[in-house]
Amino acid sequence: MANIITKQIPNSITCCNLICGCIATGAAFHGNYGWAVLMIIAGAVFDFFDGMTARLLKVSSPIGKELDSLADVVTFGVAPSAMLFHLFAEVHYPEFLQPISKAMPYTAFIMAAFSALRLAKFNLDERQTSSFIGLPTPANALFWCSLITGCYSFLLSEKFNAALLFLLMLLFCFLLVAEIPLFALKFKNLSWADNKVKYIFLLGCLVFIATLGFGCFAGIIVWYILLSLVSVKLR
């Protein structure tokens, strides 16, 4: 009996991630960005612990892996897309986009589709054991959470518009599935020679956190992408 219960603990944690993603999606549709972000972050915490728990209890299973991907699609794909959907309804539309302004918000769910594709590729790609190929879905979700809540006034100003938002969304959709190597923050040792890119990244993060408030996380994700690209060129 105890063994049966133990086997279900990681899947129960994964379901908590899924529930958080569903709540975040509902909150986003109502324009409650703060609650949506909180639920996405809570989902990320559950996502971190479900795999760890499965390894500690030695109860990893194929159904757990499939359930984890499904939960991640909702929390890190659908939920930020729902935030983007609501933002598209609020941003300034230049005159040439006025005829399609009512339909434009629905393009936000292109990002959910690319997030699902990214997760499917990750499950099958054996190259991503110690690094990433393409932007991880949690990083993409964090970028949009930080950008929308931290730069909300700017996004609704006339300095920004729906066309720029659409292009930015397409860029991050591309980054999700692009064959671009991105480093992972895993330390095998603490030496500078083996981890200089990671140390430079962490120092940059401190600068962003000290200067940008919650909007710093959008800057950190961009910094992470650029530093990964530079490190690949210098190899």
- The verdict on 59 and 80 lying in the same domain is yes
Asked whether the whole model's pTM tops 0.85, one would answer yes
- Supply the pLDDT for residue 179: 87
- The verdict on 161 and 225 lying in the same domain is no
- The verdict on 192 and 136 lying in the same domain is no
- The verdict on 51 and 90 lying in the same domain is yes
How much of the chain, in percent, has pLDDT values that exceed 70? Answer: 91
- The verdict on 83 and 30 lying in the same domain is yes
Which whole-number Å values give the CA distances from 206 to 17, 60, 213, 217, in the listed order? 28, 36, 11, 11
Q: 10 Å Cβ neighbour count for 73? A: 22
- Supply the pLDDT for residue 211: 82
Looking at the predicted structure, is the pLDDT value of residue 1 above 60?
no
Q: Which one, of 84, 120, 125, lies nearest residue 105 by Cα?
A: 84
Q: Are 92 and 160 in contact (CB under 8 A)?
A: yes
- Give me the chain's average pLDDT, please: 88
Q: How many domains does the chain have?
A: 2
Per-residue pLDDT of 208-229, as tens digits, reads 888 877 778 888 899 999 988 8
Per-residue pLDDT of 96-130, as tens digits, reads 999 999 999 999 999 999 999 999 988 776 676 66
Going 220 to 221 to 222 to 228, the CA torsion angle's sign is positive
Domain that holds residue 232: 180-235
For residues 131 and 125, give the distance between their C-alpha atoms in angstroms, rounded to a whole number: 11
Looking at the predicted structure, is the pLDDT value of residue 28 above 90?
yes
Return the CATH number at 44: 1.20.120.1760
Q: To which residue do tokens 């991630």 refer?
A: 17
- The verdict on 162 and 212 lying in the same domain is no
For residues 162 and 87, give the distance between their C-alpha atoms in angstroms, rounded to a whole number: 9
- The verdict on 222 and 108 lying in the same domain is no
More confident: 229 or 160: 160
Q: Are 181 and 133 in contact (CB under 8 A)?
A: yes
